[in-house]
Every structure is written in structure tokens, then in C-alpha cells.
Structure 1
Amino acid sequence: MRLLKLTLGTFFGSGLLPKAPGTWGSLFTLPFIYAAYLIHPVFGIAGFAVIASLISLWSTDVCVGKYGDDPGQFVIDETAGQTMVFIFTAFHYDTTANLILLFAGFIIFRLFDIFKPLGIVRLEKLPGKIGILADDLAAGVYALICLELLKSLLGSLLI
């Protein structure tokens, strides 16, 4: 069970890559988000966000025990946050448009996750596993709002 928690907590090892593990974890999440949408266009992404959040809470203790407090290698929380960005996104048959949407949401999420504006940093200070997850979920919600605004402003260029 410990190995499973470490594997999922590092999102299949993406958090073990050198330099910027949160960025790697978020990037490796994108194909899973797209697959979740293809599996169920209405609830797939939201379901994936819930599952990633639950796995984050479940695997935190083992990863913290191995890597330390709020470890960089633990990226399943980034997976949950990155997934939040796309909850209202409808992908289309145009691969280029889908890639643009995924890339835009990825960049916006990483900016919120790295710089932690608008109270996100306070959520990170919540105790234990809740604080580890909450800041990423908040970054995801802020990025979701920005992506939806961007889609509204740019219209057919992004969809």
C-alpha cells in the first residue's frame, strides 16, 4: 500500500523529475484531463478532480513521511488543481484548438500555483494535508475563472 501511495502521490513518478516537479506533474495531468473528457463529456473532468483530491488526501502522509513537509515530489495535489481549471471546458474535434485550451489552462494554473496571489498563500498554511491540497484547488479555481474569461474574450480563437 505504501508503494501505491508513493506512486500516486508523485503522479506516476512525474514529481520525481528534476527541476520544477509541480510543473511536470501539471503537464503530465493534461492527457488524463482530456481522456476524462472523452470518457464522459459532462462529468469526466469533475470526477477526475474529485478522485485526484481524494487520492491526494489519502497519500499525503506516506509522501510527507518519505520526502518531508509539503514535498515538491508530491504532485497529486497539482493534478487536482490543474484538473479544476477545465471543469467547464468542452473540447472539440479540432486538435489544435484543444491543445491551445490545454496549454492556456496549464500556463494560467502554473502562474497562480507559483505566485499564490489572492489569498492562495494563506490556504497553503492550513494544517497538514488540507493545506497541501487547498492552495492547489484555489489556484485551479482562479485559473478556471481566467480561462473562462479568456475563452469569452477570444471566442472562436480558443473554441
Structure 2
Amino acid sequence: MFYSIAGTLLGIGYIPLAPATAASIIVCILIWFLLKSPLTYLSLIIILFTLGVWISSKLVILWGEDNRRIVIDESVGMLITLFMIPQRILFFLIGFFLFRFFDIVKPYPINESQNLKNGWGVVMDDVIAGMYSSIILWIFIFFYHLIQ
């Protein structure tokens, strides 16, 4: 019971249409309003990553590999994408769309990371998608400030 509640982010994973997108939107909103301390933010990434691998490993046994109900991994990816990003709606929107793009398209090595066993494969593709998204977002922010 705990695994399914945590793995679906309190039931978000049960949303019938695009549960990963719904989870990503909710995480963006929570980051916007709640996460102000970089230390708290980084701690949350580490905790959710660790929990995500552990919980996903349990849920993979019950539900199969990378079941769409498992959305705790999306929370980790979005947190990585938006880590230390200046709080502007434009930046958050771009970060959200970049993360969803990389999470759906899964270019190399994101696609390869899904071959990792158990919860590692479930979570690592979102970690790498978050890293790709963050890098591109920071490049955008750099040029955005350059032309301002």
C-alpha cells in the first residue's frame, strides 16, 4: 500500500490521461511555492531519488517495467530540471516542456538507461532527462540575460 501511494505521488499516477505530465505540472507548482532553500531542494532530490529507486523496484514486481502509474521518477526529473533556476514563469514553462520532451522522446543515453534493472531503469531515464533539460535551460537563461 505504501509503495503504491508513494510511487503514484499520492494517486497522481492513477490519472487516466498523461499521468507523468500531470505529476510534472504538480511538481512545478510545488517547487514554485514551497522550495526556497537550495539545501532543502537538494535534500529533496536526494531523498526522492533514493525512495524512487527503492519504491519503483517494488512496484516493477507488482505492475511491470516502467508502468505509467509510477510517477515518483517524474518528480525527481522535474526537481533536477528546475534546480537553482531563477523563479520566472517563462523559465519554469520552458523547463517543464524540455523535461517532458526528453522524457517522451528519450534520446541517447536516456533510452539506454531504461535497460537498467528494477527501479534504476525507471528513475535514471528521468534523472538524465532532467539533466539534459537543465543544461539547455541554463543555456537559454544565459542568452536571455545577454539580450536583456
TM over 0.5: yes
- The residue identity in structure 2 corresponding to 1:136 is D
2:104 is equivalent to residue 108 of structure 1: no
2:115 is equivalent to residue 125 of structure 1: yes
Gap runs ≥5 in structure 1: 92-97
Aligned positions, number: 148
- 1:59 corresponds to: 55
Q: Distance in 2 between matches of 1:15 and 1:157?
A: 40
- 1:95 corresponds to: none
Say if 2:65 and 2:122, in contact at 8 Å, map to a contact too. Answer: no
- The residue identity in structure 2 corresponding to 1:129 is G
- The residue identity in structure 2 corresponding to 1:126 is L
Q: Deviations over 1:2-58 (max 9, x none)?
A: x222111001111110121111111111123234532x1x22322221121112122
When structure 1 is superposed on structure 2, of 61-70 and 127-136 the one drifting more is: 61-70
1:113 CA displacement: 0.5
- 2:11 corresponds to: 13
Q: Distance in 2 between matches of 1:8 and 1:99?
A: 28
- The residue identity in structure 2 corresponding to 1:118 is Y
Q: 5 Å matches for 1:1-159?
A: 3-38=1-36, 40=37, 42-91=38-87, 98-155=88-145
Q: Distance in 1 between matches of 2:15 and 2:92?
A: 21
Q: Distance in 2 between matches of 1:130 and 1:157?
A: 40
- The residue identity in structure 1 corresponding to 2:23 is G
Q: Distance in 1 between matches of 2:55 and 2:94?
A: 29
Q: Distance in 1 between matches of 2:86 and 2:21?
A: 23
RMSD: 1.9
- The residue identity in structure 2 corresponding to 1:23 is T
Percent identical pairs in the alignment equals 26
User: Structure 2-normalised TM-score?
Assistant: 0.90
1:156 CA displacement: 7.7
Q: Deviations over 1:116-139 (max 9, x none)?
A: 113110011111111111111000
Q: Deviations over 1:57-95 (max 9, x none)?
A: 22113322332221000000111011101123132xxxx
